[in-house]
A and B are shown apart, each in its own frame.
Chain A
């Protein structure tokens, strides 16, 4: 199965799935499918990295398998694990008289006792699958070594069972906040895309598609204000997710015009640092709320 026909096809289908992709995103997403290579997405928090993976799965009708990375993630959580409890139970349940070691050994290392974790699950599935490896920069360096085998050959070696190769290659998306530089080996195997804050026109489209009840004029004001905030050199610039939150807030509060007072009252939705708050109030010349 081919994932997408062309970059333009990506753009239209993602849009139908509720994700507005720009040209570079569409092209790279197309390549990830065409070359069957993992796609590494980097960028600030809240620009739609995870959402892109979800949108691809919606657009192609594939199932999403997600591996959330965190510090201390290991093989047992990412790849597979033997179900020790069940194995112990099996050994204890065997009648002590006909305890034949080789038979027991063969019995307890079979499919039945294997707990598959996201990476193995994604590889063994017959149906089209999108594998999302979220926040890969949070893991330890050892896990990257683990990912290498999976990402380059799409196979997993289990000593007791042999090598499991992918029946059908999943569409792999890795996301990273760049809190740590990933190793060259992983990067080399991936296509790379840096997602950044969108330009004003695209952000407005995103807002209007996410919050359909939003007034056209207020959307414009909101996008302009967020654009100015991003220029301010803040500790944490407002992301798309935060603009959407802001739009929802304004809608809930029934604010029809984003004037200075409205901005000052609701600034907490988009700015999460006290010093950012002060700076915005000063630079946008808002009245202290």
Chain B
């Protein structure tokens, strides 16, 4: 007789594959064999075992954890522990009303002060059940919303209260306490979201949730779809990504460009083998490096994309001979000065945002005007060894496109590319001038960090 465990496992593996993790059959077998040696007794252990055998990239770990919680939830329904005291005084998880909300917030404040994780987990479950329920008409129709629950209870607003409560207890550093409380509230919010996902999974089956709620990992997340917290995470990712790419590039340069024979080293090495030169050595060839000029649209919708790309390019400055950066909305402004060597990425982004005001006269994106201005003021930046890079969504508010100016600009440089953060299927819709500009300058889709680093890799090689 089947216990359903195998089906659940297969469903889980299927969901992992669906979310972009390449789990091979061999790894699947490993996972089952591994579980055979440690057993199913401890949930955290099972998680560790499955992660060790099936997740081979740290970037995919978040996806894995989300799916694991959906397929192997920590508790079912209201949870076993949750029933003890609350259930007695308030059956049917007590209807939701203003007084109940107030009482719950009070309770939550105390729990946050104590920082008891077990208690907080229980409260997260209760919170979703009481304040996030969206009852449906029939079985399998009801749902839960973490968003509604969080809006109503608003744990973020409790931070001040908890901080002052903790400060009253003893002499502690206020900033330290605030950080701790912030972290606890953040963790609690995560618990609530997880719990809502778990409940929906119970109601509608895990496969449904796996399809709907799992977000792509950060390096595949589109720039234009990123939330605030995602942007922070992306910014943290840029420097390591650039460093990885730089290492890879140097390595490939070494492997590809074998220079003339290094006679001295070859002869010296041949001494060890009685004068027979068994292996030859070559001088490294000097890598060919080009000047880079980046011209980027920094209007609202694409500002993040532009600043990330700039930051990334400048983190890779050693790969290029020299680099100049210009930003525009309807007017061109040079921002090269903000990228000092070794500067702090957070500071640079702040400076860049502040400099945006110089790039706009009227504040409506106008590519045609920007190109004309660029040709008037900074034509000397372009030369026969230059690579010109234009960043933007090519949405020019139906203004004059001046593609002849762009043609002249592209004609005066060695190579030119246009990076567009929009999905290729949206090019040419609405006010997008992507097809027109795409005929002048080769246009490349660049929606996430992976595509960006791939592009830069090919550019620098």
Contact = CB atoms under 8 A, between A and B. Distances in A.
Nearest to A89: B274
B344 interface: yes
Interface string B231-248: 000011001000110011
A274 interface: yes
19 contacts: A7-B38, A24-B47, A24-B51, A27-B49, A28-B49, A31-B34, A34-B37, A42-B58, A140-B255, A180-B248, A184-B22, A188-B27, A192-B51, A228-B179, A233-B345, A274-B342, A275-B342, A275-B343, A275-B344
Interface in B1-57: 22, 24, 26-27, 30, 33-34, 37-38, 44-45, 47-49, 51-53, 55-57
Given A84-B278, A194-B61, A233-B346, A35 B34 contact: yes
Contacts of B236: 233
Contact of A178 (B47, B58, B278): B58
Contact of B58 (A31, A85, A194, A224): A194
A140 B251 contact: yes
Interface in A70-99: 71, 84-85, 88
Q: Please give me the 6 A-B residue pairs with the lowest Cβ-Cβ distance, nearest first.
A: A187-B56, A24-B48, A27-B48, A28-B52, A194-B58, A34-B37
Contact of A27 (B26, B52, B57, B278): B52
B44 A23 contact: yes
Contacts of B48: 23-24, 27-28
B423 to A, nearest CB: 25
Interface residues of B, number: 43
Given A178-B244, A233-B346, 14 more contacts: A27-B48, A27-B52, A31-B34, A34-B37, A34-B38, A35-B33, A35-B37, A85-B274, A140-B251, A180-B248, A184-B56, A190-B56, A192-B53, A194-B58
B239 A192 contact: no
Nearest to B343: A275
Interface in B102-139: none
A221 to B, nearest CB: 11
Interface string A180-196: 11001001101111100
B37 A23 contact: no
A71 B33 CA distance: 36
A19 interface: no
B429 interface: no
A220 B402 CA distance: 64
B273 interface: yes
A35 B37 CA distance: 8
Given A6-B38, A42-B58, A180 B52 contact: no
A273 interface: yes
Interface residues of A, number: 41
Given A24-B48, A191-B52, A34 B34 contact: yes
A171 interface: no
A274 B55 CA distance: 36
Given A24-B51, A184-B22, A233-B236, A30 B38 contact: yes
User: Which secondary structure dominates chain B's binding surface?
Assistant: helix
A275 B339 CA distance: 13
Interface string B385-410: 00000000000000000000000000
B415 interface: no
A180 B272 CA distance: 34
Interface in A83-125: 84-85, 88
Contacts of B33: 35
A28 B31 CA distance: 11
B254 interface: yes
Contact of A233 (B56, B57, B235, B255): B235
Contacts of B38: 6-7, 27, 30-31, 34
B115 to A, nearest CB: 12
Contacts of B272: 84-85
B385 to A, nearest CB: 29
A40 B53 CA distance: 11
B85 interface: no
A274 B341 CA distance: 11
A191 B55 CA distance: 9
B176 interface: yes
A235 interface: yes
A35 B22 contact: no
A138 to B, nearest CB: 9
Nearest to A40: B56
From A31, A231, A275, name the one whose CB has the most chain B CB atoms within 10 angstroms. Answer: A31
A84 B52 CA distance: 43
A181 B56 CA distance: 10
Contacts of A34: 34, 37-38
Contacts of B24: 188
A40 B179 CA distance: 34
B180 to A, nearest CB: 10
A95 B403 CA distance: 84
Interface in A1-52: 6-7, 23-24, 27-28, 30-31, 34-35, 37, 40, 42
